[in-house]
Amino acid sequence: MTGAMGTPDGEAYLAAIAGIVADVENVGIELARVQIRELRVLAAAGRLADVQTAPRNARVQVHDMVLRSIAAEVGGVMRITDRTVQRRIGEARLIIEGFPAAVAAWEAGRIVRGHVMAIVDAGANLPGELWAEFETIAIERCDGQTPNRVRGELEILAHRMHPRSFAERHEEAAAGRCVRLIPGRDGMSDLIATLPTVIAEGIHDRLTQQARAIVDTREERSSGANADVVATDARTTDQVRADVLADLLLAGTPALDDTGDTTAGPLGAIRARVQVLVPAATLTGADDGPCDLAGRSPIDPATARTLAGGTGVWERLFHEPTTGVTIATDSYRVPSGTRRFLQARDQHCRFPGCRVAAIRCEVDHTHDHALGGKTELSNLAHLCQRHHSMKQFTAWRVRQLKGGVLEWTSPLGRTYREDAPTPAVAFTPATTTPGSPAPF
């Protein structure tokens, strides 16, 4: 099938894709039914252990023995260990008994398994009496979103509903920071650092930037002093990132690859970047709720305030239709003020389900600038390199509706709406109300 989309070969290709998509959709429905049924059966196994020991007012040890016996029986049929079955029984009871509304929404096709797991993972950290209220709100938040996209929002929702402040709980968790060494196979080991999220994100971002600088300047460095070494360097970004980490920790400086005379500049000059959304009330100290590290997970308010106060590029913006943010320009280049507005509005790549932070994305003209598309807010959105390329070189199409909503159309004609992230950015006068987005 080598013809264009409009040719018979192209039509056959689309028909084949349509058949695959329909089959995947049907399999997904059947799989959901089976998965829900399995969870209910496993939860029933756990309740059976309760029933068997309740009349005897049995001790915890007796209940555990009964549960072990049931798990071993079930494990024989499932061909997995009784320990695994017992763990899965506990997980099934948490899902089925703790979050029944989420299971019902899954069964009705409103959400998928990934949504349920995101709801359970976030909600389980709350006191049990708040679970019903949490899942009701969470199910609504999942509507039209992929599990990956909504997970961070659900975590922040749970943190804000928790009776203890996020700042207090983070302080306790931070006391457990550590570095662990786990021996692996074939002379390899895993070095694991448990750190505050924003620090871990910054470390990973800096390593990534340095690794990309090394990979991207191979051609420039191919005629230098280490030309022979560079010519045979076929390491992946992951491999280079690991090598740079080892070099920094052991030598104290990224001297493994010299990029100082290239367009990338010296590796040591590369600094970490993180993108954080800070509510105005949190910024002023009126609220101690969590802040959103775009593309990752919540961070503590104290760290967010430190980042806000210490950065040299944190600027205050106001959205005034006539005199505020630059909303359009005649040039292709996006003005810095507009770019900052878009970063705050989009937060991440705007392809459905993608959570790559906006600071690592490209600002795309929804309607191609070369074909008459304007450089204005209503025609701009962030796309990561992967989805930017897909928009350019495949049959996927997108148009921007009011309010920054993107409507994607697949080669089969299916449409997927990508609403502006929630909460949407709000640029307000200097006076703010508690919980409102920061005017930055």
- For 242-301, write each residue's pLDDT tens digit: 999 999 898 887 766 677 777 777 787 887 777 777 777 777 778 777 887 765 678 888
Q: CA-CA distance, 424 to 125, in Å (whole number)? A: 26
Q: Are 278 and 423 in contact (CB under 8 A)?
A: no
Nearest residue to 394 via CA among 347, 360, 351: 351
Token duo for residue 100: 């029944």
What was the pLDDT predicted at 316? 38
The position carrying tokens 């049929």 is 77
**Residue 125's beta-bridge partner residues?**
none
What was the pLDDT predicted at 228? 75
Sign of CA dihedral 308, 312, 314, 316: positive
Q: CA-CA distance, 290 to 278, in Å (whole number)? A: 8
Long-range contacts of 365-371 (CB under 8 A, 24+ apart): 365/332, 366/398, 366/399, 366/400, 366/406, 367/399, 367/400, 369/332
What was the pLDDT predicted at 331? 57
* Coil, strand or helix at 422: coil
Q: Are 407 and 399 in contact (CB under 8 A)?
A: yes
* Coil, strand or helix at 276: strand
DSSP state of 404: G
Kind and range of the H or E run holding 365 = strand 362-365
Nearest residue to 95 via CA among 76, 113, 71, 75: 113
What was the pLDDT predicted at 309? 72
What was the pLDDT predicted at 344? 84
Q: CA-CA distance, 107 to 96, in Å (whole number)? A: 12
HSE-up (13 A, CA, CB side) for residue 7: 6
Phi then psi dihedrals of residue 211, to 5 deg:
-65, -40
Residues whose CB is less than 8 angstroms from the CB of residue 324 and which lie 6 or more positions away in sequence, other chains included: 317, 318, 427
Long-range contacts of 128-131 (CB under 8 A, 24+ apart): 128/98, 130/161, 130/162, 131/98, 131/99
What was the pLDDT predicted at 58? 58
What was the pLDDT predicted at 301? 84
Angle among Cα 423, 368, 398 to the nearest 5 degrees reads 50
What was the pLDDT predicted at 427? 42
| Residue ranges in the chain modelled with pLDDT below 50 | 1-2, 314-324, 423-440
Q: Can you give the C-alpha Rg of the chain in angstroms?
A: 26
Q: CA-CA distance, 141 to 137, in Å (whole number)? A: 6
Write the single-letter amino acid at 119: I
Q: Are 349 and 361 in contact (CB under 8 A)?
A: yes
pLDDT digit string (tens) for 165-224? 888 888 898 999 999 999 999 899 999 999 998 899 899 999 999 998 888 888 888 776
Q: How many CB atoms lie within 10 A of CB 38?
A: 13
Residues whose CB is less than 8 angstroms from the CB of residue 25 and which lie 6 or more positions away in sequence, other chains included: none
Q: CA-CA distance, 387 to 95, in Å (whole number)? A: 34
